[in-house]
A and B are shown apart, each in its own frame.
Chain A
């Protein structure tokens, strides 16, 4: 089992290298998209810090907490989709019958297909998350290590969530819009403190739109340096990934080839 795991980690590293080199072939586009996303996140962060400061939205919440919230969400999203960029477009890949090519490889389908592409703008998100956490929050070593671990957990959750929502295309035809809308809802809830929402909404954020594991538990973990909250976050991420894998493979049984003739480089 360990051999297999290390083998797939090696594949992930190799794919990241290939994808990164492919992005650098269009260097200007890659840099401009990454930089634009970095700038976009900075604009949102400045706005939110101003908003929380001016209106005293939540007592006990300061600029550092808002920055932590944005840093962990952006870095998690960025890492997840930089490494597994195809998960963002999975719904379209399934609907177009583009899984055909991936089915021919002697690798497990799901990890292979999601590794196949890098999202340039997500790279900007990842950089933003780490820069903001280091510059605005100025963490000590234990906080930084915990932040790094949590961003990996959040990345795993985003990967799982994108696969889960993308897999809807197996069941409803083209689920591209629904998948994007659902993911945007997760991002929207993740960029606000959980304390703003009431009990029923919190239940929703622990299940259907799992924002609690993206920013709720991670931010509490970092504020209190609590491993328990970090563990909740990781458990949530693993649950989402497991559900996503099950739904994907159930859906795969319904997959029909697009019979498309195409060249792959």
Chain B
């Protein structure tokens, strides 16, 4: 079996197994509905105090759709860190090493399959809620196409960040805290709650220079404001950050392998 086929099969199995957990999906969608409703109330109150009816080019409806798309990305992010942490702690990673697979690529494929299913279900529900709350946005089809082009790279970048946190289990007693802080950075610095364009300018410049912006803000921003120049800029930044994170993962993983001690028995 060619290398690509192997990882494709892993992604496919992961996607199928994720579809089996219906109660988990409903719970996620219930929380999503609550969150979007809360956001809608907050932004309605905010827009009521702004006679111009726009914030940095965003209308209320665009904000709702931005938040729906961003929330779907964050809520579909699989919990890869605890899996890697468990593999390291239980020694299961040693079993993975004897398989004809690269461990990081195995995790990437599995993560990718799961995330696609989670995103599709979450975004479908988010879109239904957003239509009810604010109607269909302008440029829906173009926006969706542009966002879907950059979305796979956003998933890979998101995965690499969490994998790095998970691999820290080779050195730290517990990675839960680190994963929590990393996820909050992705939410806030990535622009899940507030488009980066609405941050004060000095903050915005810093945040646009970080990888989190290209996990959440890039795809969600393109969805509501599709623009070819921005599409190119987001893609370039995603590829650069994926290259940087891949090198980091390779270096950390190589160093981590040196710390594995196997005992017979």
Q: Indicate whether A and B interact.
A: yes
- Which A residues contact B (CB, under 8 angstroms)? 26, 28-29, 32-33, 35-37, 39-40, 43-44, 47, 50-51, 54-59, 121, 174-175, 177-178, 180-182, 184-185, 188-189, 192, 196-198, 201, 209
Tell me which residues across on chain B come within 8 A of A39, comparing CB atoms: 181
Known contacts A47-B193, A178-B23, A196-B42: does B30 contact A185 (CB below 8 Å)?
A: yes
The DSSP consensus for interface residues of chain A is helix
B88 at the interface (CB under 8 A from A): no
* Contact indicator per residue, chain B 109-147, by CB within 8 Å of chain A (1) or not (0): 000000000000000000000000000000000000000
A178 touching B30, Cβ below 8 Å: yes
- Which B residues contact A (CB, under 8 angstroms)? 21, 23-24, 26-28, 30-31, 34-35, 37-38, 41-42, 45-46, 49-50, 55, 172-174, 176-178, 180-181, 184-185, 188, 193-194, 198, 200
- Give which listed residue, B21, B27, B49, B55, contacts A59 with CB less than 8 A: B49
The DSSP consensus for interface residues of chain B is helix
Known contacts A36-B177, A40-B180, A47-B188: does B26 contact A177 (CB below 8 Å)?
A: yes
B177 touching A192, Cβ below 8 Å: no
Tell me which residues across on chain A come within 8 A of B38, comparing CB atoms: 188-189, 192, 196
A185 (CB) vs chain B CBs: closest residue? B34
A43 touching B31, Cβ below 8 Å: no
A-B pairs under 8 A by CB, number: 100
Closest beta carbon of chain B to A219's beta carbon, Å: 16
Tell me which residues across on chain B come within 8 A of A196, comparing CB atoms: 38, 41-42, 45
A57 touching B42, Cβ below 8 Å: yes
- Give which listed residue, A44, A51, A184, contacts B194 with CB less than 8 A: A51
Known contacts A54-B200, A185-B34: does B193 contact A35 (CB below 8 Å)?
A: no
B55 (CB) vs chain A CBs: closest residue? A55
Q: How far is the CA of A184 from the CA of B27 in the complex (A)?
A: 10
- Give which listed residue, B27, B173, B194, B198, contacts A177 with CB less than 8 A: B27
B41 touching A57, Cβ below 8 Å: no
13 more contacts with CB within 8 A, not counting A178-B27, A192-B41, are A28-B173, A28-B174, A33-B176, A35-B177, A36-B177, A43-B185, A55-B49, A56-B49, A57-B45, A59-B49, A177-B23, A177-B27, A198-B41
Closest beta carbon of chain A to B120's beta carbon, Å: 18
Tell me which residues across on chain A come within 8 A of B24, comparing CB atoms: 177
A26 touching B23, Cβ below 8 Å: no
Tell me which residues across on chain A come within 8 A of B180, comparing CB atoms: 36-37, 40, 121
- Give which listed residue, A26, A57, A209, contacts B49 with CB less than 8 A: A57
Q: How far is the CA of A47 from the CA of B28 in the complex (A)?
A: 24
Closest beta carbon of chain A to B156's beta carbon, Å: 25
B184 touching A44, Cβ below 8 Å: yes
B174 touching A29, Cβ below 8 Å: yes
Closest beta carbon of chain A to B210's beta carbon, Å: 14
B174 touching A58, Cβ below 8 Å: no
Closest beta carbon of chain B to A162's beta carbon, Å: 15
Q: How far is the CA of A15 from the CA of B177 in the complex (A)?
A: 25
- Give which listed residue, B34, B45, B50, B193, contacts A58 with CB less than 8 A: B45
Tell me which residues across on chain B come within 8 A of A32, comparing CB atoms: 172-174, 176-178
Tell me which residues across on chain B come within 8 A of A55, comparing CB atoms: 46, 49-50, 55
